[in-house]
Structure 1
Amino acid sequence: MIDNLRGMAVFASVVGHGSFSGSARELGITTSAVSQQIRSLENELGVVLLHRSTRKLSLTEAGESFYGSAKDVVSAAEQGRIKVNQLRDELAGSLRIATTPELGVNHILPALSTWMAAHDDLSITYFADNRYIDMIDERIDIAIRMSPTINDSTLSSHPLTDVRQVLVASPQYLRQHAKIDSPKDLIDHHLICIDIMKDSNQVDLTRTETGKKLRTKMTSRIHTNNVFMATTLAKEGHGLVRMMEMDVRKELESGELVEVLTGYQLPSFVLYAVTLSREQQPAKITRCLEVLKKYFHAS
């Protein structure tokens, strides 16, 4: 089948140029190779397509009928090539991005909003879910993940920013409960657990001055799988919560939440954009990554 298509393209070129030599120059092959392609096509079809003479070529009845189809095939192939090049080189077509609801609302949408508005030929689909999404099955172009383990050769990771964890509570909660001056004081407090986090009721701390590591397991009676819910619960004074700083930056700046144990550090993470490994990424993916990197670097 592939050989037939190649032969049809050569045949259309020969007819268009009116000679084997003109076709050979256009296709960058020898005249004998052009002749061989035509001969193979005629043998495959079982008909003669061209009358050959020393002065000119002319189409047989079968050749004249076949020429229209050959031209259509070549034209369709060229249109397909143009569309593929547009998808590769231009900001057009579809772009599918997977992230969590919190990252999507607080960061990904603000990062990409102006860029999206400037490229209205681009159709963007956002998948906002805390579950792991298979990039191949879901045809995801870019996934935003925290500290992914990349053991899959089909995936590439692009670091965006370091993310600090903080332990926070509302001023109201801190006024009404025992003081928190050291990690051992946490045993007298309740932790709002975000169940999407590993070891959600465990708090690992490192003293900033000495580097000494401590681990505290807190009691918990409130659980959620949603960062927005956890933030609201903390603001309403239901306990402490272990959060990514970037998710509660506004609340910390406004004073609705307060960081506790500021002399200690919780484990930090790296925020990544993950893509499928390709020798050449489409322009829409590379440009989107550039915008995300610029946003997170600036913030």
Structure 2
Amino acid sequence: MKILITGANGQVGHCLQQQLLDSNIPFIAVTREQLDITDAHAVEQLLQTEQPTIVINAAAHTAVDKAETDQDNAFAINRDGIANLARISANIGAAVFHISTDYVFDGEKDSPYSEHDATNPQGVYGHSKLAGEQAAAAANPRHIILRTAWVFGEHGNNFVKTMIRLGRTKDALGIVADQQGSPTYAGDIAKVLIILADIYSNSGELPWGIYHYAGAPHTNWHSFAQAIFQQVEASGIYEKPVPALSAITTADYPTPAKRPANSRLDCKKIEDAFGIPPSDWQTALNNIRAYAG
């Protein structure tokens, strides 16, 4: 087996490299600067040269608000890029694993979303990611689409690192409490992708399709921030008290892109199929100093 990773500088791409270095699995990881996935010719050249068994696409346009005014670029990366990777990987007999998002749903459901629920994205980012899912599935029958949510890790930009940074200088913070979701540790996403790759390598087959993988227990942004600052306080990172947190509503913090009120993902399918439990985001926060930079 040989794995090719795109989006090597992203949260999941970074974790994939760290974990694969500790394994015996050969891999090549490319950054956006090394491979523009929207350039079909460049993608074909690299895949034909490297001949990977599995392509893991961790590259994405993830600037949710910016996507509202950067629609062409969002669709170029999130739809056309994965279409190129899926089509060319199929041509060389490789499987494709693609990371998607809770934003393909409208957030109106009052319970966690399963893989069978109807999609209804509310913004450009969600529309572009759904188009990418559809393109991947159409271009390569050997595809795994892994929907996840609220990703955080030691590398890159995320909510945990933002809270730690703001808390250094702020005495009080208002955090949205009416959006529910599933925080997911990037290292756990990487681990799941490697587990699936290993199963495919050993058996030559997988039950292909869409899977949800995210964290448990479900929470909201305000409660998530409380958990973060409990760890910050216990670790003694700051030389000041942690900020006081107040619960605010989505209406109190307007953004260009609409956020789903319900981003909770039901992960029963992947647990039943592979014995993979949800991401334990609370344990992932224990080493809070790793996120503090």
Q: TM-score, normalised by structure 2?
A: 0.28
Q: TM-score, normalised by structure 1?
A: 0.27
* Bigger Rg over Cα: 1
